């Protein structure tokens, strides 16, 4: 008997060969059939009998009728033969089977089969194996060796050669599932992140031009709320000290949630009424009149209350002057040239109508002509409501702007103060139209077939009067209320929204209340949205100015105080000054760069309200606190107001007269306050768009077109100016197409280029600021004197002066000024385009 240990390598090979025999249906010699019923690997269980191994090798057949291999051997059927074979005999049989199989295994399909160095198995437990010989049935094979019983037709179909590698395949399958799940998880996180970034929230994201958001904000503005606010403000307007009203405005804005609302106070020099009103005494009759035309009696003075004292010209010369009255009509250059040829005007008193030209300009002409005084009045034929204004006294100011004691710099406590009790050498006194009629000796207005004939003093008649002006200059505190709504992405860019508040007595009383009610209504609507998490991109600064009737003092001082910051960072100024002056037509005024935006909003308002006022947008000089921002900073400006059509058709600059109005006047013009609501929404929509658009909604091309139009109707045709204006237009068109249009496309928008573009747009009008202009004219020459004049104001004025002369230095200086402004704007465009091109080349 052979030792079991010596046969382990060969026996291990036998196990693997048997498996291949079974799996590949290789025919075996009859001597090796006994091996199929053995279980030689006792404890490790590779073989546990024939039935078990066949079931494992062919799992698809194990559930039905099984495939079997039957041994045909006669000696096993002999009775009394032991059912258990000796272990040594079994091993010998296995070795013989291995040797006999070598020849049959030499087939091409088994060339790759190699014996491995697997661990040798112990055969110690093979002696007690039961072969169950009764279950072996004889069979025949086509080769005389085996008979394969294939009872299940799909057994081979289900079987694969890789079955022994099931564990490895399962591991790969699980690994694939894990990888796919991980990938999907990562993609889910990425998609969720960008979906969260792009999905709009209830607060509506900032930084987008969202018209629907604007409408959601503006729809909360109601006429009833504006009316209520207006009436509340009028309850405290009788106070002489404007601090009470300033405190009320400040506390209201703080209650609405406006951030960093504060007082900014300045101690300024004001010219106030004296102990008695001014008087005009007719020398020929000795009759004394107050400015309203009433005789100088104590009862008349008491009956007029304080209104009589406030009929004066602020910063006029003080004293008494007796002289002849000379009618100079509107005091234009032509009027004065005609008068000076006929009469001696030295130290005489001019009878001057308001309108057509700025009052300061006409006063300067009177000074040059040698006049010593002036009586100002509004011709009833020019006034929209002659019957009302004919007997009303009014106030004017001769202050071009700011504190007269600190010209050009802010009025701080430590500032140097100049002694300037009066700003003109003339004694100036406003009078009513009824008093002017008395001086002219015309008992009533002459009406021919419903045609009003203007008041006029005959040239051959002489009137001598004694004019007494008594006013007092003193230092008082002027308060501004300023509140901030900080921007989200550009907090250093400011959109300034300004109105004015009450500054003593009843003058401008209803107008300031109307303005304040409008700006407060918009603040309230805006803060409701801010409380939901929304913010504008740029900072909005809300201002209520003090000292407006004396020459826009509050706004001038604040502007001078923050001039360095505003010159760089102020984007636009939206004026809410006297929004209801009439009720017949909408009257918008805007810088050339903002006219397109205003037209769009006006058309939208027409569609929304189903009626269109047909208003045109113009760039003309406007009254109110916008003057400093237009005239000294070159900031694009817009103002909406309702006006009387007759006032627009009549002479301009009548608004320089400040009339005392009763509290019911505004409510008579707009009893339902629907006009107030329209002004609030139009102004608010412009504010929102300027504050939020990534690219400022300024039209550079409109500025170039405005320049060309201002030169077309010039009396002196200057070809070099027209040629330069054409170049400016070409540069503006190129800038508009190459830079502004791509920047307005979100796909092509580059933040750094947008910032550079906005800087150019907001500084463009600064090129048209000039240093020297006639008194009362805007330094920003893009603004005309009125709607009837399309020429540059300084050119028109210079041309009128040089008409009788063949050459005039004033005209040449004006032409040079305009030429330099146009050339500066052209260079500004060209430099901007060059910078953009250089940046683009560097990036490429």
pLDDT in tens, 285-295: 899 999 988 89
Residue 430 DSSP one-character state: E
Provide the sign of the torsion angle of the four alpha carbons 541, 492, 836, 206, taken in this order: negative
Q: State the pLDDT at residue 714.
A: 62
Structural element, H or E, at residue 533: none
Token reading at 683: 């102004």
Q: Are 328 and 352 in contact (CB under 8 A)?
A: yes
Q: How far is CA 665 from CA 140, 580, 629, 639, in A?
A: 128, 10, 30, 21
- The b-or-e profile of 181-194 (16+ CB within 10 A means b, else e) is eeeeeeeeeeeeee
What's the longest Cα–Cα distance across the chain?
A: 175
Residue 740 DSSP one-character state: I
Task: Report the relative pairing of strands 451-452 and 447-448 from DSSP bridges.
Answer: antiparallel
Identify which of 620, 697, 674 has the alpha carbon closest to the alpha carbon of residue 651.
Answer: 620
CA distance 665 to 671: 10
Q: Are 509 and 466 in contact (CB under 8 A)?
A: no
Q: State the pLDDT at residue 237.
A: 59
Residues (pLDDT < 70) of the chain are: 1-169, 192-209, 236-242, 298-307, 385-391, 442-450, 503-509, 604-615, 660-664, 713-717, 742, 744, 747-748, 803-807, 838-844
CA distance 725 to 826: 8
Provide the sign of the torsion angle of the four alpha carbons 731, 732, 735, 738, taken in this order: negative
Report the chain's C-alpha Rg in angstroms: 51
Token reading at 738: 């190459």
List, for residues 269-319, the tens digit of each pLDDT value: 999 988 888 999 999 889 999 998 889 876 555 555 566 778 899 999 999
CA distance 415 to 408: 11
E-assigned strand segments in 32-101 = none
User: Residue 695 CA to chain centroid, in angstroms?
Assistant: 8
What number of helices (H) and strands (E) belong to the chain? Answer: 28, 20
Q: State the pLDDT at residue 754.
A: 86
Q: What is the pTM of this model?
A: 0.74
Residue 69 DSSP one-character state: -
CA distance 500 to 839: 44
Note every long-range contact of 136-144, with CB atoms under 8 Å and residues 24 or more positions apart, other chains counting: 136/37, 136/70, 136/71, 136/76, 137/70, 138/70, 138/72, 139/70, 139/72, 140/72, 141/27, 143/27
- Please give the torsion angle defined by the CA atoms of residues 412, 416, 420 and 424, in that order, rounded to the nearest 10 degrees: -90
């Amino acid at each position: 008997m052979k030792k079991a240990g010596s046969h382990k390598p060969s026996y291990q090979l036998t196990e693997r060969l048997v498996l291949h025999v079974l799996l590949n249906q290789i025919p075996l010699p009859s001597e090796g059939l006994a091996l199929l019923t053995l279980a030689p690997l006792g404890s490790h269980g590779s073989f546990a009998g024939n039935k078990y191994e066949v079931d494992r090798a062919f799992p698809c057949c194990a559930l039905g009728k099984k495939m079997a291999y039957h041994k045909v051997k006669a000696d096993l059927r002999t009775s009394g033969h032991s059912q258990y074979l000796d272990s040594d005999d079994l091993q010998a049989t296995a070795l013989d089977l291995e040797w006999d199989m070598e020849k049959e295994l030499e087939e091409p399909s088994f060339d790759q089969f190699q014996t491995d160095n697997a661990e040798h198995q112990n055969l110690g437990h093979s002696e007690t194996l039961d072969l169950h010989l009764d279950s072996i049935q004889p069979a025949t094979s086509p080769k005389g060796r085996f008979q394969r019983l294939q009872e299940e037709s799909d057994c081979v179909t289900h079987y694969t050669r890789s079955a022994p590698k099931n564990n490895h395949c399962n591991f790969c399958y699980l690994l694939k599932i894990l990888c796919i799940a991980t990938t999907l998880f990562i993609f889910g996180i990425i998609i969720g992140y960008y979906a969260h970034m792009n999905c709009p929230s209830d607060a509506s994201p900032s930084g987008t031009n969202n018209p629907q958001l604007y409408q959601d904000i503006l729809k909360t503005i109601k006429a009833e709320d504006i009316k209520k606010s207006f009436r509340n403000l009028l309850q405290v307007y009788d106070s002489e000290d404007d601090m009470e009203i300033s405190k009320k405005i400040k506390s209201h804005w703080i209650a609405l949630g406006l951030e960093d609302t504060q007082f900014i106070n300045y101690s300024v020099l004001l010219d106030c009424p004296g102990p008695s009103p001014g008087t005009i005494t007719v020398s020929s009759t000795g009759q004394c009149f107050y400015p309203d035309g009433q005789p100088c009696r104590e009862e008349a003075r008491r009956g007029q209350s304080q209104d009589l004292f406030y009929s004066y010209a602020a910063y006029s010369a003080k004293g008494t002057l007796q002289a002849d009255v000379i009618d100079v009509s509107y005091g234009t250059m032509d009027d004065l040239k005609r008068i000076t040829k006929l009469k001696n005007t030295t130290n005489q008193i001019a009878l001057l109508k308001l309108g057509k030209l700025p009052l300061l300009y006409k006063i300067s002409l009177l000074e040059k002509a040698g006049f010593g005084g002036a009586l100002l009045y509004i011709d009833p034929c020019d006034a929209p409501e002659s019957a009302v204004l004919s007997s009303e006294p009014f106030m004017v100011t001769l202050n071009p702007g700011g504190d007269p004691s600190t010209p050009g710099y802010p009025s701080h406590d430590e500032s140097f103060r100049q002694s300037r009790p009066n700003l003109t050498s003339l004694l100036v006194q406003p009078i009513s139209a009824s008093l002017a009629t008395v001086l002219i000796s015309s008992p009533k207005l002459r009406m021919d077939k419903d045609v009003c004939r203007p008041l006029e003093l005959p040239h051959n008649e002489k009137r001598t009067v004694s004019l007494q002006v008594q006013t007092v200059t003193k230092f008082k505190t002027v308060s501004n209320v300023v509140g901030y709504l900080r921007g989200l992405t550009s907090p250093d860019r400011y959109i300034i929204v300004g109105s004015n508040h009450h500054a003593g007595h009843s003058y401008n009383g209803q107008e300031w209340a109307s303005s304040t009610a409008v700006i407060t209504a918009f603040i309230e609507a805006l803060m409701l949205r801010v409380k939901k998490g929304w913010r504008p991109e740029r900072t909005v600064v809300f201002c209520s100015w003090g000292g407006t009737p004396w020459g826009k003092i509050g706004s001038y001082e604040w502007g001078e105080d923050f001039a360095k910051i505003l010159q760089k960072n102020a984007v636009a100024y939206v004026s809410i000054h006297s929004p209801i002056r009439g009720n017949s037509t909408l009257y918008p005024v805007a810088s050339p760069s903002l006219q397109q935006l205003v037209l769009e909003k006006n058309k939208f308002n027409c569609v929304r309200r189903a009626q269109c006022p047909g208003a045109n947008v113009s760039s003309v000089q406007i009254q109110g606190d916008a003057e400093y921002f237009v005239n000294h900073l070159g900031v694009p400006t817009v103002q909406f107001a309702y006006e009387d059509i007759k006032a627009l058709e009549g002479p301009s600059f009548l608004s320089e007269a400040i009339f005392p109005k009763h509290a019911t006047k505004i409510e008579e013009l707009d009893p339902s306050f629907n006009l107030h609501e329209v002004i609030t929404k139009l102004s608010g929509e412009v504010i929102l768009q300027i504050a939020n658009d990534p690219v400022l909604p300024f039209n550079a091309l409109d500025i170039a077109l405005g320049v060309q139009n201002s030169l077309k109707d010039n009396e002196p045709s200057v070809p070099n100016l027209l040629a330069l204006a054409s170049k400016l237009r070409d540069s503006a068109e190129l800038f508009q197409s190459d830079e502004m249009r791509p920047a307005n496309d979100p796909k092509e928008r580059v933040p750094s280029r947008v910032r550079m573009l906005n800087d150019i747009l907001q500084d463009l009008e600064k090129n048209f600021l000039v240093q020297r202009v006639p008194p009362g004219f805007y330094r920003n020459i893009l603004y005309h004197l009125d709607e009837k004049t399309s020429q540059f104001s300084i050119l028109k004025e210079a041309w009128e002066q040089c008409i009788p002369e063949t050459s005039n230095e004033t005209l040449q200086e004006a032409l040079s000024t305009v030429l330099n402004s146009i050339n500066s704007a052209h260079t500004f465009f060209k430099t901007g385009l060059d910078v953009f091109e250089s940046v683009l080349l560097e990036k490429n």
